[in-house]
Amino acid sequence: MWIDLPPFILLFVGGVLAAVTRGTLRKSIMLAVPILGGLNLIGVEHGARFQYEVAGQTLTLFRPDGLSLLFGYLFHLAAFIGNLFALHLTDEEGATLQHSSALLYAGSALGAVFAGDLITMFVFWELLAFTSVFLIWARGTERSYRTGFRYLVIHVLSGVLLLSGAIIRAQETGSIEFGNIGLDGSLGAWLILISFGIKAAFPLAHNWLTDSYPESTATGAVFLSAFTTKVAIYGLARGYAGTEMLVYIGAVMTAFPIFYAVIENDLRRVLGYSMINQIGFMVTGIGLGTALGVNGAVAHAFNDVIFKGLLFMTMGSVLRQTGRINGSDLGGLYKTMPWTAAFCIVGAASISAFPLFSGFASKSMVMAAALEEGHSIVWLVLLFAAAGVFHHAGIKIPFFAFYGHDSGIRTTDPPKNMLVAMGISAVLCIVIGTFPEQTLYRILPFEGGYHPYDVTHVLTQTQLLFFGALAFVGLQKFHIYPAELRSINIDVEWLYRWVAPRIVGGVGSLVSRIDGAVRGTAVSAARRVIAVGSRDHAGEGLLARTWPTGSMLLWVAILLVGYITFYLAR
């Protein structure tokens, strides 16, 4: 550590510089800022600092400890890989907007995990939404524009819940410090949990993720997949470790999205569903609350950022090179995008938790923790989900994009910076997966050794995956496997994208019809009065002829009636 400074500051400065510089200078800033920030965290002293007294409460901007530092390193790494992947962007693609908001977004994530109190966290919580939405809007389509607004509304709502919870807690406990909260039956604790739950894509609140990530830019999805949900996982690990409800919520999260993933056509949306599945493993680990469970959860968060980022990068490359991302339009791309195909397979092997790949070293911790705590059924659900994730993310994504039916599309591998970014991620997946005890396990927040590589575990996991693949081969051979169809599948969002507008529209048209009738009657009555009144006033352009006066008359009358009613009813 050279300078003792809250890490978000450097990233924010970088974000501003990225907006005002161009060319090679900007590229150097994009790469140097996350590297310098990450190096600056090495050997940092633990403990809260940069504290300010505001209205009797202490705001803490920098609280490095085991848990926040793991996410601190991770977010710098993710920002570096993401920036490298996006380095080629041109002005036509909105380079300035995307580069700048990516750095500000990464800074907000760092601000949130190093915040020592709930109010500071709230500020960065909202900034996460406002900085990242530009990575969706930069796509420039009508659809991304609408999706961005939905994304913003949901995340602002999550922030409002966090703020409300923080205020209630401050009144109850007298402090806004963010430590272990737990569900003690107080409203504040519930509100904060729901706020975290929305950002972590809990079931029923998950749809913002699968709605927005596929509509973002080819490079933007890489950043989006890295930060928002992982900040929520950090919040849950800090505040709600050992909350039993989370074990079951997590189990549901691992299981239900994989059904959607199997029938989804947009391959980036498939990744979105598989992301909820992976977050489910983390939430379960946090709910278990043991050292092994929480270590497993945050280790899996670390790995997920890298391998999910890698998968989003490969699909982003496909989207950039071919202009298509639907499984029904793709296939056979291994012929012309061999590197991308190879990186995709590494990412797929990692998310599927193949031995020697990163997912294996962390997912197994959560599953072992579930068995240790006697959650037999949850373990079976997790095992089902572990097989299922291989099926859709491990096989479906590479198979339908790069192999399978030849779509006839002939293109090339993406630019070098994109390939190098994917290459770094792929190497990290293999190194962490092969040597977890020398790498990732060293920065885990809690004590307690875990050895993923024993014979039983390697054998059983390989059996699970190979026979899952065997099922895929069988389903393809017998033509049972559902074809990729140009279609979408309705999800919870149907309620607010289809049902609600129609209810609002129906009520609205009813209201406007009643309003129109009432107004019409009132206006014609008023006109008659005015006509009578103006008979003697010869001349033209009487004010009473115009609409606003008519309705003003009506509203004054209503106000008067209301006032009298309240006065009498008092």
CA distances from residue 213 to 143, 271, 315, 430 in whole angstroms, order as listed: 12, 9, 12, 26
Find the binder of other proteins among 123, 156, 431, 469 (CB under 8 A): 469
User: Does residue 258 bind other proteins (CB under 8 A)?
Assistant: yes
Separation between Cα atoms, residue 231 and residue 71, nearest integer Å:
8
Pattern 216-255, binding to other proteins, x per CB under 8 A?
----------------------------------------
The encoded tokens of residue 543 equal 């004010």
- Choose the binding region for other proteins from 347-355, 477-485, 512-520, 521-529 (rule: CB under 8 A): 477-485
Three-class SS of 194-258: HHHHHHCCCCCCCHHHHHHHHHCCCCHHHHHHHCHHHHHHHHHHHHCCCCHHHHHHHHHHHHHHH
> Nearer to other proteins by C-beta: 473 or 529?
473
Kind plus residue range of the DSSP H or E element containing 59: strand 57-62
Helix (H, G, I), strand (E, B) or coil at 482: coil
The encoded tokens of residue 99 equal 């580069």
Find the binder of other proteins among 175, 180, 462, 521 (CB under 8 A): 462
Find the binder of other proteins among 9, 183, 205, 262 (CB under 8 A): 262
Pattern 494-533, binding to other proteins, x per CB under 8 A?
---xx-----------------------------------
User: Does residue 467 bind other proteins (CB under 8 A)?
Assistant: yes
User: Does residue 485 bind other proteins (CB under 8 A)?
Assistant: yes
> Nearer to other proteins by C-beta: 1 or 380?
380
Task: Check: CB of residue 441 under 8 Å from CB of residue 291.
Answer: no
DSSP, res 437: T
Which residues between 141 and 160 bind other proteins (CB under 8 A)? Answer: 143
Task: Check: CB of residue 86 under 8 Å from CB of residue 102.
Answer: yes
Task: Check: CB of residue 169 under 8 Å from CB of residue 118.
Answer: yes
Pattern 296-335, binding to other proteins, x per CB under 8 A?
------------------------------------x-xx
User: Does residue 360 bind other proteins (CB under 8 A)?
Assistant: no
Cα-Cα-Cα-Cα dihedral sign, residues 403, 407, 412, 418: negative
Helix (H, G, I), strand (E, B) or coil at 340: helix
CB of 371 to other proteins, least distance (A): 5
User: Does residue 388 bind other proteins (CB under 8 A)?
Assistant: yes
> Nearer to other proteins by C-beta: 199 or 391?
391
CA distances from residue 93 to 82, 98, 137, 320, 417 in whole angstroms, order as listed: 16, 8, 11, 11, 16
Tell me the number of residues near other proteins by CB under 8 A: 61
User: Does residue 489 bind other proteins (CB under 8 A)?
Assistant: yes
Q: Where on the chain is the footprint of other proteins (CB under 8 A)?
A: 143, 258-260, 262-263, 332, 334-336, 368, 371, 376, 379-380, 383-384, 387-388, 390-391, 403, 406-412, 454-456, 459-475, 480-482, 485-491, 497-498
